Amino acid sequence: MKNSDLISRSLRSVWHPCTQMKHHETLPLIPFSRGSGIWLYDFEENRYLDAISSWWVNLFGHCNRKINSAISDQLGKLEHAILAGCTHEPVVALSERLSMLSGLDHAFYASDGASAVEIALKMSFHFWKNRGMPQKKKFVSIENGYHGETLGALSVTDVAIFKDNYSPLVMEGIKAKTPDWRHAEEGESPHEFALRASLGLEKILEENHENIAALIIEPLIQGAAGMGMHDPVYLSRARQLCDRYGVHLIADEIAVGFGRTGTFFAFEQASIVPDFLCLSKGITGGYLPLSAVLSRSAIYDAFYEDSIARAFLHSHSYTGNALACRAALAVLDIFEDEDVIERNREKSAIMSKKAEILATHPKVRHFRNSGMIWAFEVIDPSTDFPRRFHLDALNHGLLLRPIGNTVYFMPPYVIEEEEMDLLVNGTSACL
């Protein structure tokens, strides 16, 4: 097959996500035929370094041998079965291991990140309703935060391009000041700014806690805000305040879980445990759709009654899919067998050293790093910067998708030094 053949077929039949389709009159689609490790290949064997882990999902490279083997083995046993009133080994084993890793007790499954957020919001409200406090139905979220694009998730999302068109359909919550240190005053450290931002959160909870069900936050990194990073002290303060005022804490680690920030879960860096933990993206290593919401036993117990009306009546057809759960178990095996967190810390230090050429570039502002994520803003007044940079990066064999003027790297963990050099040098050439 030729690249052009697949492109023309795709434009006739596929409505691509997060895309103004008319732009593809001038912005070419990239047709992939196969993947291997950190590389994606088109039908003419041009290769592209997947510097964004195919939308932040791929942890251990394309066509990973261990994950392939696990899925193949599961295919010969059970592909899927209804989870209502039934169970199977992969979903039980995965739930046990996630509980051990997170300190939370019960796992509820869906297929994607936005669905996980919907579940956590509904669970929190329903918990309070079951406890005789149905007035607790408001949610607090953070300025510039992103939690998905379904209607419930949009109610706690603060990114205008995703939300404004649907605002008549969305139930608005309460926004707290972002702790993103890019908004700090001159001379103010990220730690100091996070503490100052937490004062605004404290005021919100003090004045409204009787009507607030939960606070939802992206721990350490606000992804769609342009990889806005904050000091862990904000999470510590959020936990303290939620405890003081009787409000749930929902940690949306859909993008930052599974080692992205340097610890297995980002909330570990604040020495806290949330009430709800939303997971997706890297959970299956980028192989199959799966998301999970983990919660405390105290929350689970509020639904454990004779009355069906007090049960959590939420369902997805493919809840706890056996193939997806088996892929997730293979991902956890790789973390355990290959000491991935420690290895990533070493790679992060190497990559940050190589990226100093970018950090000191005259067009770059706010260069930052957290674990296996790097980001910076590019001074460029043109409105079409993201498309121009994306195209130029492709010409250097790099798959990059800037968020506004923010260029970021979130590569698979299998990246090696030679590939780091290609990524840094290609990006430098684009600048």
**CATH number, residue 394:** 3.90.1150.10
Residues 6+ positions from 153 with CB-CB distance below 8 Å: 114, 117, 118, 121, 147
Tell me, yes or no, whether 85 and 30 share the same domain: no
d(CA 63, CA 69): 10
Whether 430 is covered by a domain: the verdict is no
pLDDT of residue 394: 97
d(CA 115, CA 365): 35
Whether 369 is covered by a domain: the verdict is no
Whether 190 is covered by a domain: the verdict is yes
Residues 6+ positions from 211 with CB-CB distance below 8 Å: 135, 136, 137, 138
Tell me, yes or no, whether 261 and 301 share the same domain: yes
Tell me, yes or no, whether 13 and 151 share the same domain: no
In degrees and rounded to multiples of 5, residue 37 shows phi and psi of 60, -130
- Which helix (H) or strand (E) segment is 395 a member of? helix 385-395
- For 106, the token pair is 């019960």
Q: Judging by beta carbons within 10 Å of its beta carbon (0-12, 13-18, 19+), is residue 53 exposed, middle or buried?
A: buried
- For 361, the token pair is 């570039």
Domain that residue 248 falls in:
68-337
Tell me, yes or no, whether 34 and 12 share the same domain: yes
Tell me, yes or no, whether 179 and 100 share the same domain: yes
Whether 16 is covered by a domain: the verdict is yes
- For 428, the token pair is 């430098």
End residue of a domain, out of 337, 356, 388: 337
Tell me, yes or no, whether 226 and 319 share the same domain: yes
First to last CA, the chain: 34
Whether 349 is covered by a domain: the verdict is no
Tell me, yes or no, whether 200 and 295 share the same domain: yes
- For 8, the token pair is 């023309």
End residue of a domain, out of 285, 318, 337: 337
Residues in the chain: 431
d(CA 181, CA 159): 18
Q: Judging by beta carbons within 10 Å of its beta carbon (0-12, 13-18, 19+), is residue 224 exposed, middle or buried?
A: buried
DSSP for residue 41: E
Tokens 């959590």 appear where?
Answer: 312
Tell me, yes or no, whether 171 and 197 share the same domain: yes
**Which residue type occupies 222?**
Q
pLDDT of residue 383: 85
End residue of a domain, out of 337, 362, 390: 337
Q: Judging by beta carbons within 10 Å of its beta carbon (0-12, 13-18, 19+), is residue 415 exposed, middle or buried?
A: buried
CATH code of 304's domain: 3.40.640.10
* Partner residues linked to 37 by β-bridges: 62
pLDDT of residue 27: 87
Our count of domains for the chain comes to 2
CA 226 to chain centroid, in Å, comes to 13
pLDDT of residue 1: 81
Whether 363 is covered by a domain: the verdict is no
Residues 6+ positions from 119 with CB-CB distance below 8 Å: 108, 110, 278, 293, 314
Tell me, yes or no, whether 92 and 40 share the same domain: no
pLDDT of residue 381: 84
Per-residue pLDDT of the chain (431 residues; tens, 9 = 90+): 899 999 999 999 999 999 999 999 988 899 999 999 999 999 999 999 999 999 999 999 999 999 999 999 999 999 999 999 999 999 999 999 999 999 999 999 999 999 999 999 999 999 999 999 999 999 999 999 999 999 999 999 999 999 999 999 999 899 999 999 999 999 999 999 999 999 999 999 999 999 999 999 999 999 999 999 999 999 999 999 999 999 999 999 999 999 999 999 999 999 999 999 999 999 999 999 999 999 999 999 999 999 999 999 999 999 999 999 999 999 999 999 999 999 999 999 999 999 999 999 999 999 999 999 999 999 988 889 999 999 999 999 999 999 999 999 999 999 999 999 999 999 999 99
pLDDT of residue 345: 98
Query: 3-class DSSP state for residue 20?
Result: coil
Tell me, yes or no, whether 236 and 315 share the same domain: yes
Q: Is the torsion defined by CA of 374, 215, 147, 269 positive or negative?
A: positive
pLDDT of residue 28: 87
Whether 154 is covered by a domain: the verdict is yes
Tell me, yes or no, whether 160 and 256 share the same domain: yes
Tell me, yes or no, whether 148 and 205 share the same domain: yes
- For 55, the token pair is 């939308």
- How far are the Cα atoms of 36, 53, 184, 216 from residue 358, in angstroms, in the given order? 27, 20, 22, 33
